[in-house]
A and B are shown apart, each in its own frame.
Chain A
């Protein structure tokens, strides 16, 4: 039966390409790629890789981003949640944070760059009054060699992501009772939360945390926009080698992609060590029975979350201003003139990329939604709990993209498949499906089983109760999952660029292509469009159920 096969189909769909991709990266890394004349196994490409200038700096920045930003983001999120526990604000925060998550990485990175650059919005706001600057300071803030702005760019995306993941898992930990119990023993609320709720919550968000590590240690688009350039991060270096017109560089690119895999694995290993350390320290803290730290936790969490939200929103404002800016002299706070010229000049170029973006996002999301619903519905019908193999679904999120997309390209070239939108669609599906599943599964599993039991006692077949009862009751969560899928697809850079060989331009690939040396106003237009599409999806997901169920009070809390 179809539903019975669904989990295995999904797992195969997601793990086989990743496995194949990694496998086909290994061969060229050791010199075997007959298409390019590599017939013998050799270590020479590894020697060339390790001899390339600045490699250790590249690795170091990647590792630093891969471990430090998740650490900071997770600490801020947990302190924030500890601080607001019992306030009943969780629902509101969920609403407020979701749009931040919708902003694609590239758009957020561009926004941040326009905000903090020497001639950026912040510098203009305080100049010359506070700084005395009449010309932009000669400082390398964006693209700094230490990767600080890169890490800041990652943080403003990681914090909302982890915050939403934690909020979704929180009810399972029964925080009210745990905190009340600890408070009755004399602990202040935030400290009580950290001591009693956090240990139960962390295992539930562990997978998203590792996904964050994988992304942060291997991001391409955020590095291209905010990261160091000479040398760039490892992932960007690999992409440069891969894209070199001289195809012989591909061997070194393959070796580099494997090195990236190793670097990400090492970052995860370091994280594992931090987990063990935190467990020991946490137990000691518990055993010591110390009750201080309330204000530190509250202030740290609140400050961190507001800073991230402020930077993300400030970045959007900077994008909007730049996109409408005419002549804008430093240090003027506002442009001398506002103009629609950039928009009107860019819009004609838009239709192709916009069509590709929307088409691929819609198709990959639709496929992902059908597959996710099939897996979850099958799970409900069997009455069996979560299949243990389902964690494999998340494999594409835990392996650096470049490490397996590279091999997949080798495979398609070997099969003489011409890169086109279908390959891009498939590559997007690898990332859209896990996120759609992640977004939908909680609501699907939590739906009161009595609804379908009742339907069956009324004589409804499983399919009838699926179409008439379960699906309508889950309309809201399904639309939210679809919005997540669209946001993920719209934001994909590498999964567009590599499988499409640059021939399937999307809003994101065009925007990132402008990163080095594009006109600021034009970049702003593209980045805004990139941010706008996912937001539109989330707005629809929020309002469509309200309109559909406007005469059904009982559906208001079904979110």
Chain B
């Protein structure tokens, strides 16, 4: 962890009177106030609109859906902003490392423009998850756990103010899942990021240790 992320000022994500519907059918209604370092878990059966909720928050909801409500990040209305300006990071089910970039290239891509010492930041991010010297590697040659760690560091390098987790551990082996989960949760908490996770796995919810919203 870099110094800056550990001491990051606390952020706050507020969902007020959020309603999501698909072709006129109400899928979910939600109110949540997520403080920095807190992980709120949204649980529900598949088809309940969990992933669509995250897509909406991140800024790319499919046109068939309708959503209403207010979403504030540090008091600022993010719904008016395009996805790339919301500063809401997202971890997908798959690590989704860009296959045409090296491991280091993936991390560099996430660094905001105009940063100094990009190489040093990329190095530090790799060291922090025990992947020193991996910068030039082809992401396809990494193990599943390594890919997840790179994806997490990439997310952090983009300096988000809030994080969304879309069943991020469901594709991992049972043995790996616990380790990756512990790493992701502790890292996000240490970075003081408000985190909203959707999952159908009760273990995820329990490990997150935060509030649980049942849909």
Residues A456 and B83 in contact, CB atoms below 8 Å apart: yes
Is the CB of B36 closer than 8 A to any CB of chain A? no
A552 contacts across to B, CB distance below 8 A: 99-100, 138, 140
Residues B138 and A451 in contact, CB atoms below 8 Å apart: no
Is the CB of A553 closer than 8 A to any CB of chain B? yes
Is the CB of B185 closer than 8 A to any CB of chain A? no
Is the CB of B19 closer than 8 A to any CB of chain A? no
Residues B89 and A473 in contact, CB atoms below 8 Å apart: no
A551 contacts across to B, CB distance below 8 A: 138
Residues A473 and B83 in contact, CB atoms below 8 Å apart: no
Binds B, one of A97-105, A457-465, A495-503: A457-465
Cβ < 8 Å to A, chain B residues 34-84: 55, 58-60, 62-63, 82-84
Other-chain residue from B98, B110, B139 in contact with A451 (beta carbon distance below 8 A): B98
Is the CB of A388 closer than 8 A to any CB of chain B? no
B98 contacts across to A, CB distance below 8 A: 451, 469, 473
A453 contacts across to B, CB distance below 8 A: 55, 58, 60, 83, 90
Residues A460 and B99 in contact, CB atoms below 8 Å apart: no
The chain A residue with its CB closest to the CB of B60 is A453
CB-CB under 8 A for A458 and B89, given A468-B109, A553-B138, A553-B141: yes
In the complex, A449→B92 CA distance in Å?
12
Residues A554 and B140 in contact, CB atoms below 8 Å apart: yes
Shortest C-beta distance, A374 to chain B (Å), equals: 20
Other-chain residue from A458, A475, A558 in contact with B110 (beta carbon distance below 8 A): A458
Cβ < 8 Å to B, chain A residues 449-497: 449-451, 453-462, 468-469, 472-473, 475
Other-chain residue from B62, B82, B89 in contact with A383 (beta carbon distance below 8 A): B62
Residues B60 and A455 in contact, CB atoms below 8 Å apart: no
In the complex, A459→B161 CA distance in Å?
12
Which size class do A's interface residues fall under? 20 to 34
In the complex, A454→B62 CA distance in Å?
15
Residues A457 and B100 in contact, CB atoms below 8 Å apart: no
Residues B87 and A456 in contact, CB atoms below 8 Å apart: no
Shortest C-beta distance, B42 to chain A (Å), equals: 18
The chain A residue with its CB closest to the CB of B83 is A456
Residues A457 and B58 in contact, CB atoms below 8 Å apart: yes
Q: How many B residues, CB 8 Å from partner?
A: 34
In the complex, A143→B98 CA distance in Å?
56
Is the CB of A285 closer than 8 A to any CB of chain B? no
Residues A549 and B92 in contact, CB atoms below 8 Å apart: no
Residues A454 and B140 in contact, CB atoms below 8 Å apart: no
Is the CB of B170 closer than 8 A to any CB of chain A? no
Residues B63 and A554 in contact, CB atoms below 8 Å apart: no
Is the CB of A384 closer than 8 A to any CB of chain B? yes
In the complex, A187→B121 CA distance in Å?
62
Is the CB of A555 closer than 8 A to any CB of chain B? yes
The chain B residue with its CB closest to the CB of A553 is B140
B159 contacts across to A, CB distance below 8 A: 459
Residues B90 and A454 in contact, CB atoms below 8 Å apart: yes
Other-chain residue from B112, B138, B140, B158 in contact with A457 (beta carbon distance below 8 A): B158
In the complex, A450→B100 CA distance in Å?
15
- Number of residue pairs spanning A and B whose beta carbons lie under 8 angstroms apart: 82
B140 contacts across to A, CB distance below 8 A: 552-554
Residues B99 and A383 in contact, CB atoms below 8 Å apart: no
Is the CB of B154 closer than 8 A to any CB of chain A? yes
Shortest C-beta distance, A523 to chain B (Å), equals: 45
Most A C-beta atoms less than 10 A away, residue of B84, B139, B141: B84
CB-CB under 8 A for A549 and B62, given A455-B109, A458-B109: no
CB-CB under 8 A for A383 and B90, given A454-B96, A554-B140: no
In the complex, A383→B64 CA distance in Å?
10
Other-chain residue from B82, B92, B138 in contact with A454 (beta carbon distance below 8 A): B92
Residues A459 and B84 in contact, CB atoms below 8 Å apart: yes
Chain A 536-555: CB-based contact to B (< 8 A → 1; otherwise 0): 00000000000001011111
Is the CB of B88 closer than 8 A to any CB of chain A? yes
Shortest C-beta distance, B48 to chain A (Å), equals: 20
A472 contacts across to B, CB distance below 8 A: 100
Shortest C-beta distance, A455 to chain B (Å), equals: 7
Shortest C-beta distance, B73 to chain A (Å), equals: 13
B100 contacts across to A, CB distance below 8 A: 472-473, 475, 549, 552, 554-555
Other-chain residue from A457, A461, A468 in contact with B90 (beta carbon distance below 8 A): A457
Other-chain residue from B60, B94, B160 in contact with A456 (beta carbon distance below 8 A): B60
In the complex, A122→B149 CA distance in Å?
65
Other-chain residue from B87, B112, B139 in contact with A554 (beta carbon distance below 8 A): B139
Most B C-beta atoms less than 10 A away, residue of A383, A468, A551, A554: A554
The chain A residue with its CB closest to the CB of B97 is A554
CB-CB under 8 A for A450 and B92, given A455-B109, A457-B83, A458-B109: yes
In the complex, A460→B139 CA distance in Å?
20
The chain A residue with its CB closest to the CB of B63 is A383
A384 contacts across to B, CB distance below 8 A: 63
In the complex, A451→B95 CA distance in Å?
11
B92 contacts across to A, CB distance below 8 A: 450, 454
In the complex, A454→B90 CA distance in Å?
7
The chain A residue with its CB closest to the CB of B110 is A458
Shortest C-beta distance, B88 to chain A (Å), equals: 6
A468 contacts across to B, CB distance below 8 A: 109
Residues B99 and A558 in contact, CB atoms below 8 Å apart: yes
Cβ < 8 Å to A, chain B residues 117-175: 138-141, 154-155, 158-160
Other-chain residue from A455, A457, A555 in contact with B99 (beta carbon distance below 8 A): A555
Shortest C-beta distance, B41 to chain A (Å), equals: 20
In the complex, A193→B82 CA distance in Å?
46
In the complex, A454→B92 CA distance in Å?
8
In the complex, A457→B55 CA distance in Å?
10
B88 contacts across to A, CB distance below 8 A: 457
Contacts A456-B60, A475-B100 known; 6 new A-B pairs at CB < 8 A: A453-B55, A454-B96, A456-B59, A457-B88, A549-B100, A552-B99
| Interface positions of A (Cβ within 8 A of B) | 383-384, 449-451, 453-462, 468-469, 472-473, 475, 549, 551-555, 558
| Interface positions of B (Cβ within 8 A of A) | 55, 58-60, 62-63, 82-90, 92, 94, 96-100, 109-110, 112, 138-141, 154-155, 158-160
5 A-B pairs with C-beta separation under 8 A: A457-B58, A458-B110, A458-B154, A468-B109, A552-B140
The 9 closest A-B pairs by CB, nearest first: A554-B99, A553-B140, A456-B83, A554-B140, A458-B158, A457-B90, A458-B110, A456-B84, A472-B100
